[in-house]
Amino acid sequence: MDREEILRRSRAEKEDEGNTYLENRGRRAGFYGLCAMYIALLAFNCWTEQPSESVLALFTSYLAAEAWGQHRAGGRRLFLILSLLLAGAALLNLAIYVRGVLG
């Protein structure tokens, strides 16, 4: 494949590497922010002796979706197993939270 062919295919994809880089940086910063808030909420709930199942359900569902996306993109079986386990944990935490609220 010659240089012109590579350039033509690259232009046809219409994907800007700069935008992809910025999106990935934003996602990484968002993930770190989510982790920091998760830790803060868990610490607060522990300090005030409040249940944390809702926070755990939210966080594990995010991790399950991320693992699922990695499985779909790369086809690695480990991410499939991880996504299923995390989704199960998210549903279990949600069920415990709903049961506690509804009494």
Assess if residue 23 is contained within a domain: yes
The pLDDT assigned to 81 comes to 97
> Residue 71: which domain range?
13-102
The pLDDT assigned to 85 comes to 98
Assess if residue 8 is contained within a domain: no
Mean pLDDT per 10-residue section of the chain, whose length is 103 residues: 74 75 90 96 96 95 95 93 97 96 89
The pLDDT assigned to 1 comes to 67
Assess if residue 70 is contained within a domain: yes
Number of domains in the chain: 1
Full-model pTM? 0.77
Assess if residue 3 is contained within a domain: no
The pLDDT assigned to 63 comes to 96
Q: Measured on CA atoms in the order 46, 47, 49, 53, is the torsion positive or negative?
A: negative
HEC secondary structure over 33-88: HHHHHHHHHHHHHHHCCCCCHHHHHHHHHHHHHHHHHHHHHHCCHHHHHHHHHHHH
Assess if residue 34 is contained within a domain: yes
